[in-house]
Amino acid sequence: MTVGELVRARRERHGDQPLLTYYDAATGERTELGYATFENWTAKTANAIADHDVEPGEEVVVAVDGHWAGLVAVLACGLVGCRAMTLTGPPPSDHRAALSITHERYAAAVAGGPRLLVGEGLGGRLTEGGDDGFVDEVLACDDVYDDPAVDADDDWLVLDRGVWSQGKAIREAPVPPARRVLLSEGLESATLAAVGVIVAGASMVTVRGGDERGRARVAEQERCEATL
């Protein structure tokens, strides 16, 4: 199974069932994406990546400081057939990728190459303005992306333990212990866990920033049954 096949199958089966609930402790933002909305964002983002001339097999850096757009970008890389390298901080200045999708606070680190910036503003919009905003560019893209040339054996996730193909990640992602879980770490650090949630048709909650007490309070409010 490819990433594209996975997200489309889950959209058809689970529709508007919540997939990802995102909290930002600093701004108070709460964003919820159902399976259908998530699939739409993923398809649009895949089109945005392709519009930047990213070819299958090339690498896209995803470093969005725990924002929900990071998971969308990682899945979109799978649709395009390119590799996704997730980072918990700014990309090294000497790292070269076909495209960098980063938080706007890391803009200086990726000033020399193709980039899309996720902003600190509501919904991920830029606070400084500019024409390289992730949200504005993605929303302008088509709702459908389908590349029949993508294969389950294509490289997808660049992890500390090596590069995982689409099929390997989908087969071996950890099965969540409950139907609704809290991710204890940022999405960049919990990519495989998030993939496992999608495979299982479950739902996840993630909190950007804050402390353990705040995350525990969110977990209770959102009726999370387990923490990953």
Cross-sheet strand order for the sheet of 162-165: 115-118, 99-103, 59-63, 83-86, 155-159, 162-165
**Residue 51 scores a pLDDT above 80:** yes
CATH of the domain at 37: 3.40.50.12780
**Residue 127 scores a pLDDT above 80:** yes
What integer pLDDT is reported at residue 96 of this predicted model?
85
Residue at token pair 């993630």:
206
Tokens for 136, please give them. Answer: 């504005």
What would the pLDDT profile of 86-97 be if each residue is shown by its tens digit?
998 898 878 889
Residue at token pair 């689409």:
166
The boundaries of the domain holding residue 88 are: 3-227
Q: Where are the beta strands (DSSP E) in 126-178?
A: 155-159, 162-165
Phi-psi map region of 153: left, alpha, beta (phi>0 left; psi -120 to 50 alpha):
alpha
Domain count, the chain: 1
Residue 119: in which H helix or E strand, if any?
none
Q: Where are the beta strands (DSSP E) in the chain?
A: 18-24, 30-34, 59-63, 83-86, 99-103, 115-118, 155-159, 162-165, 180-183, 203-208, 226-227
What would the pLDDT profile of 8-40 be if each residue is shown by its tens digit?
999 999 999 999 999 999 889 999 999 999 999
**Residue 112 scores a pLDDT above 90:** no
Whole-prediction pTM:
0.95
**Of the candidates 53, 51, 56, which has an alpha carbon nearest to the alpha carbon of residue 79?**
56
